[in-house]
């Protein structure tokens, strides 16, 4: 009699990678750095309109900044504020020596986001999307990196899995949003691609990927059937469904993935933590630049 061995069916129960303890460690480190500074770093935020999620995010960022000893202020504008008014507000903050980081909370109701971002001084662009910072990253030069992307990379490293040689896809509505993520992934030896959720080959690309990073603002967009068994899935989405916050990844994905980031509690806490770290980095960049100018001036290199 011949016995046929039944094929082994590989099953997964994804490990949830929480961002909360990782974020706490970063925030404590920032607090220690601020205590050693000669002056208090300052963060100014611009909030436009009545989007409930945006108001919540600003509240969380303000609380984190204050806890770290960073001066925080919020400027609120109505939804019908013009692009010119917001650019003027940004330029006024650029000129203030007590403000080292500027954050405009997106999405905006109807204003020109690109023009407003371009108005921020690159050294105060703590969200990291200014064209000058994007150009610096492309050249491999030091720059302020978007906090959300730093958070994603921290979560991937927290799995303690090697990323080198892996295939990753970033699903986003904006190639500009995805660009810094692709840069960071490629620095880790990952073959990374961007796809719009509307791309014809988006589902095939997701199915081939070892790492799936999604930020499209559609609850449950990524389903179990789309992903490769054992994939690492990072959920940047934040959606409100029946009064509850959920991500872009369907809960059933946990039955097939190896690692999944939860929403809430995954990328979000780390984004806030890296934002205040960026404020400190921006302060140090500006302080170093001013010190260099004073030094050169005293040596006769620059004239007043």
Catalytic residues: 61, 105, 127
Report the alpha-carbon distance of residue 209 to residue 156 in Å, rounded. 14
| 64 and 276 Cβ atoms separated by less than 8 Å | yes
| 169 and 193 Cβ atoms separated by less than 8 Å | yes
Q: Number of helices (H) and strands (E), helices first, in the chain?
A: 9, 11
Q: At what angle do helices 52-67 and 267-298 cross, to 10 degrees?
A: 60
| 11 and 68 Cβ atoms separated by less than 8 Å | no
The 3-state secondary structure of 13-52, one letter per residue:
CCEECCCHHHHHHHHHHHHHHHHCCCCCCEEEEEEECCCH
- DSSP letter for 120, please: S
Beta bridge partners of 191: 167
Q: Which of 275, 4, 8 is nearest to 151 (CA)?
A: 275
- DSSP letter for 105, please: P
Dihedral sign for Cα atoms in the order 253, 259, 263, 268: negative
Residue 299 Cα to chain centre, angstroms? 41
Q: How far is CA 184 from CA 22, 55, 236, in A?
A: 19, 29, 16
Report the alpha-carbon distance of residue 161 to residue 108 in Å, rounded. 37
Longest Cα pair distance anywhere in the chain, in angstroms? 98
Phi first, then psi: give them for residue 242, nearest 5 degrees: 55, 40
């Amino acid at each position: 009699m011949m016995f046929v061995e039944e094929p082994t069916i590989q099953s997964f129960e994804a490990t949830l990678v929480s961002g909360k303890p990782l974020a706490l460690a970063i925030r404590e480190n920032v607090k220690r750095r601020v205590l050693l500074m000669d002056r208090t770093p300052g963060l100014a935020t611009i909030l436009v309109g009545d989007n409930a999620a945006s108001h919540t995010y600003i509240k969380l960022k303000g609380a984190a900044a204050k806890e770290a000893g960073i001066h925080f202020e919020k400027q609120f504008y109505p939804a019908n504020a013009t692009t010119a008014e917001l650019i003027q507000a940004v330029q006024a903050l650029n000129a203030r020596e007590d403000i080292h980081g500027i954050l405009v909370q997106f999405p905006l109701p109807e204003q020109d986001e690109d023009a407003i971002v371009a108005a921020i001084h690159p050294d105060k662009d703590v969200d990291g999307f200014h064209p000058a910072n994007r150009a610096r990253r492309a050249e491999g030069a030091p720059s302020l990196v978007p906090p959300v992307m730093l958070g994603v990379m921290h979560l991937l490293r927290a799995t303690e899995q090697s990323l080198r040689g892996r295939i990753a896809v970033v699903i986003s509505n904006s190639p500009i949003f995805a660009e810094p993520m692709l840069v960071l992934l490629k620095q880790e030896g990952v073959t990374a691609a961007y796809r719009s959720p509307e791309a014809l080959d988006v589902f095939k690309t997701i199915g081939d990927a070892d790492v799936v990073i999604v930020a499209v603002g559609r609850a449950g967009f990524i389903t179990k059937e789309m992903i490769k068994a054992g994939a690492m899935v990072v959920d940047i989405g934040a959606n409100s469904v029946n009064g509850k916050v959920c991500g872009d990844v369907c809960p059933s994905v946990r039955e097939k993935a190896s690692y999944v980031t939860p929403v809430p509690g995954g990328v979000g806490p780390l984004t806030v933590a890296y934002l205040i770290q960026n404020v400190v980095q921006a302060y140090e960049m500006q302080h170093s630049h001013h010190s260099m100018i004073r030094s050169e001036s005293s040596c006769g290199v620059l004239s007043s």
